[in-house]
Amino acid sequence: MRQPPIGTTMPAALDSSRPHRRLLAATVLGCLAVGSALALPGTAAASSSSFLSHFSKVKNVASTVPANGDLNPYGITVVDGSVGKLVDGATLVSNFNNSANLQGTGTTIVEIAPSGMVTTFAQIDKHHLPGTCPGGVGLTTALAALPGGWVVVGSLPTKDGMSPTARAGCLIVLNSMGTPVETWSGDNIKGPWDLTAVSSRGGAEIFVSNVLNGTVDHSPSTVDKGTVVRLDVRLVGASPPQVVGSTVVGSGFAERTDPTALVVGPTGLALGEDGTLYVADTVNSRIAAVPLALTRSAPESGGGVTVSTGGALKGPLGMALAPNDDILTVNAGDGNAVETTPSGHQVASPQFDPAGAAGNLFGLTIAPHGRGVLFVDDGDNTLKVFGHK
């Protein structure tokens, strides 16, 4: 049986208003629909078998703004098990902007308990990191809680919120008290934008999308150099997680700088039952797939295999896998979510953003016990849930 995802997080938006399992065996990618899939209107139309069709109402859960005023909630993950400051069933959210609304300068992760109480899990000081993080701290949508109370968050920092000053950043590992204990940088880590992780015996596999592979140097042109990297991580007792392997499993994804969104490139990630890794190709309004992601030793080039493109997909950002194994994404181009089957059929496209605005939706994840979808709304800096009436 598949191990559930440890955490899944999401991306940066196209918002012109903001300056800113281990599996026992992996099988070959099944019959994927290449090219345009079923186009749906941007409404709540849905297949009766779709996961999203079971829900109909968006509710506010809590503000994601901490005491220091950080803005732009991006990453999201649900905690599995209480330890240290982490509460079982709580939601962690990372902030990308500081209080001055400069992108790539946010330093906080907030924790929202099942009761709705909000606390600051971590405020990371770039001057007191336990290792190298080129450029400093600017927390992205890359966020996951690992077994043992370890939290991994991505950093794609800037000096002034503008893409010319963006640097490669790193992944920061924190303990259950919110204290950074380690950084992972260099080699294949170049602008970690999003991640998903799955547990394995004695460790975890973390998949990271990277958006700074020559992107700034070729600005404002689009370059097909975005990557997805698999990090093989060892977890042993109370020792911090250790990277024991790093493999580029996907390459050739479109990426570019953007005057209002900082960077646009491969974002949301989700691992399927058969070991297929799904990737949100934001630039091309496409869902791509990387077969055999858990075991492959060489990248799937050309931006992966197209699962679905166009239709209701309008700049997909965040991604999560539904309990029925459908792929959930949220759009940068409108306020909608899209549910896509592994065979490429778009079966639902409900409105998640109550304001119907573009560029507000970022990270999403399945709510505990499958009772809806938790997502962050950048428009009003809140955690919301799409659930029952």
Predicted pLDDT of residue 354? 85
Tokens of 335: 């306020």
What string of H, E and C letters represents the secondary structure of the chain? CCCCEEEECCCCCCCCCCCCCCCCCCCCCCCCCCCECCCCCCCCCECCCCCHHHCCEEEEEEECCCCCCCEEEEEEEECCCCECCECCCCEEEEEEECCCCCECCCCEEEEECCCCCEEEEEECCHHHCCCCCCCCCCEEEEEEEECCCEEEEEECCCCCCCHHHCCCCEEEEECCCCCEEEEECECCECCEEEEEEEEECCEEEEEEEECCCCCCCCCCCCEEEEEEEEEEEECCCCCCCEEEEEEEEEEEEEEEEECCCEEECEEEEEECCCCCEEEEECCCCEEEEECCCCCCCCCECCCCEEEEECCCCCCEEEEEECCCCCEEEEECCCCEEEEECCCCCEEECCECCCCCCCCCEEEEEECHHHCCEEEEECCCCEEEEEECC
Q: How many residues would you count in the chain?
A: 389
- Residue 209's φ and ψ, nearest 5 degrees, are -90, 140
Domain boundaries of the chain, sorted by first residue? 5-387
How far apart CA 322 and CA 50 sit, in angstroms, is 9
Q: Which residue has 């250790």 as its token pair?
A: 242
369 Cβ partners below 8 Å, 6+ apart?
A: none
- Please give the CATH number for the structural domain made up of 5-387: 2.120.10.30
Q: b/e for 313-332, b at 16 or more Cβ within 10 A?
A: bbbbbbbbbbeeebbbbbbb
Predicted pLDDT of residue 359? 86
User: How would you classify residue 186: left for phi > 0, otherwise alpha for psi between -120 and 50, otherwise beta?
Assistant: left
User: What is the full per-residue pLDDT of the chain (389 aa) written as tens digits?
Assistant: 334 445 433 333 333 333 333 232 222 233 333 333 333 333 334 555 899 999 999 999 999 999 999 999 999 999 999 999 999 999 999 999 999 999 999 999 999 999 999 999 999 999 999 999 999 999 999 999 999 999 999 999 999 999 999 999 999 999 999 999 999 999 899 999 999 999 988 899 999 999 999 999 999 999 999 999 999 999 998 999 999 999 999 999 999 999 888 999 999 999 998 999 999 999 999 999 999 999 999 999 999 999 999 999 999 999 999 999 999 999 999 999 999 999 999 999 999 998 888 889 999 999 999 999 999 999 999 999 999 86
Q: b/e for 40-71, b at 16 or more Cβ within 10 A?
A: bebebebbeebbbbebeebeebbebbbeeebb
pTM: 0.89
Tokens of 43: 């409404």
Sign of CA dihedral 57, 140, 68, 162: negative
Q: How many other C-beta atoms are found inside a 10 Å radius of the C-beta of residue 1?
A: 7
**Nearest alpha-carbon partner for 101 in 159, 161, 153:** 161
Alpha-carbon Rg for the chain, nearest whole angstrom, is 18
Predicted pLDDT of residue 47? 55
- Residue 89's φ and ψ, nearest 5 degrees, are 85, -5
Q: Are 144 and 195 in contact (CB under 8 A)?
A: yes
Predicted pLDDT of residue 10? 34
How far apart CA 318 and CA 12 sit, in angstroms, is 9
Tokens of 332: 């940068």
How far apart CA 20 and CA 355 sit, in angstroms, is 21
Q: How far is CA 355 from the centre of its chain?
A: 22
